[in-house]
Every structure is written in structure tokens, then in C-alpha cells.
Amino acid sequence: MNSLEHRAFKEELFGQFARIGRALANAHRLELLDLLAQGERTVEELAREAGMSVANTSRHLQELRAARLVEVRREGLYRHYRLADERVFGLWRALRELGEARLAEVDRLVRTHLEDRNSLEPVDAEELLERIHRGEVVVLDVRPEKEYRAGHIPGARSVPLERLEAYLEELPREVEIVAYCRGPYCVFADEAVALLRSRGYRARRLTEGLPDWRAAGMPVESAAG
């Protein structure tokens, strides 16, 4: 390979990598990846969760699909999207962690909107798994039930946040409760812990969400077993 051929090769190669960068360079598309990390979703479900129109959501999904970051399954009139593989979540997680480390604005936003989080005494994945094995804790998955069915921490109870108050009588008061949701920026678990504590329960939140738990190699169950 001569120098001109080598230069052409490098430009084409890095141009292909840039396809992924361009696909990620949009806040809405990053949120869609974060939602798809919970499990397969239809365009309509994603649009509702992300607060976008179906047409706009579909356009962003096509951009992600063109970069081979998501895949689609058609069933009747509906299109079901999912992450192409686990490395896509790893890429989003690496970007998230880099932003936390390098962008002061990320820290400011988290402190502004999640300022009471430290008072909720977060528990990390390793500690939670040990306590599950010892039978010392009740784990609540406060995400929507569909996300729970797609994958959850073994033994966790599915109690979506909007149903939690009606479920309180089913929870033991002598055992600590740990709630988890979608990820570090999801507030479902924060709100669940605040409600539980206001009713006299001992409760804490998991530091991250189910996708991070899975990525760490922790065991995961699904509704199909």
C-alpha cells in the first residue's frame, strides 16, 4: 500500500467510525438509547416516554439504525426497536461517565435537580447482591411493568411507582427495602424511597439501574425465566 492508498484507507476508515459519532450527537437520540437499554420498545412507546411526536421519534430511530446502533423487528403494524447489542449500552455508559468526569455542567445539573439524593443512602450493586443472598432485603423494581418483564434483579418485586402507595401493606416493616429504576438519572427510585420513608419504612436506593447491573455481570431474570 503506497502513501496515497494508505491515506485514502485512513480517511474512509475514520469516516465509518464518524457515522457512530454523528448518530450520538443528538440529545434525543441519546435518550432513546437510554430507554432502549431497558428493553425492546415500539416507536409509539418511545415517543410517549421521550415526549416527542411519533414522526420525530421515528426519524431519530432511523438515524440510529443507519449507524447500526439499533435493530428493528416488525410485528403487524408495529415496529419494535432494540439495542443492536450490549456494546451499544457500553458506549452510552462510557459517554455518560466521561461527561460526568469532564463536564462541570453535568455535575451542576445533577446537584440542582437531584440535590437530596445523598440523603437516600444509596447502596451499590455488590452490597445489594450480598444482602439478597443473605435474605436481608426486599428489592422493589419501580420501573414500568413491561421493563420489569424484559429483565430484572432476581427476586425483585415489580411495583411501578404509581402503584407503590397501594402496595405498602404488602411490605414488611422489619426488613430494609431497596428500590431501583432505569439508571443514575432516573428519579423513580428516589421518589419511591422518599414515599417509603415518609410511611416509616427503612428504605434505600440502588446507585444505578438495571442496565448497569446487567453490564456489571450481575444475575438478571426475565418474565420468561
Q: Does some domain include residue 163?
A: yes
220 belongs to a structural domain: no
Other CB atoms within 10 A of residue 56 CB: 12
Global pTM reads: 0.91
- 15-70 tens-digit pLDDT: 999 999 999 999 999 999 999 999 999 999 999 999 999 999 999 999 999 999 99
CATH code, domain carrying 165: 3.40.250.10
CATH code of the domain covering residue 81: 1.10.10.10
Evaluate if residue 218 carries a pLDDT over 70.
yes
In a domain, 104, yes or no: no
Q: Do 65 and 144 have their domain in common?
A: no
Write out the residue range of the structural domain in which residue 45 sits.
3-89
AA identity, residue 154: P
Q: Determine, yes or no, domain membership for 109.
A: no
Q: What is the DSSP string of 79-130?
A: EEEEESSHHHHHHHHHHHHHHHHH-HHHHHHHHHHSTTGGGG--B-HHHHHH
Residue 114 phi/psi, 5-degree rounding, is -125, 40
What pLDDT score does 27 carry?
A: 97
Residues 152 and 187 in one domain: yes
State the chain's mean pLDDT as an integer: 94
Q: Which residues are catalytic?
A: 181
Q: pLDDT for 106-115, tens place per residue? A: 989 988 887 6
Contact 206, 183 (CB under 8 A): no
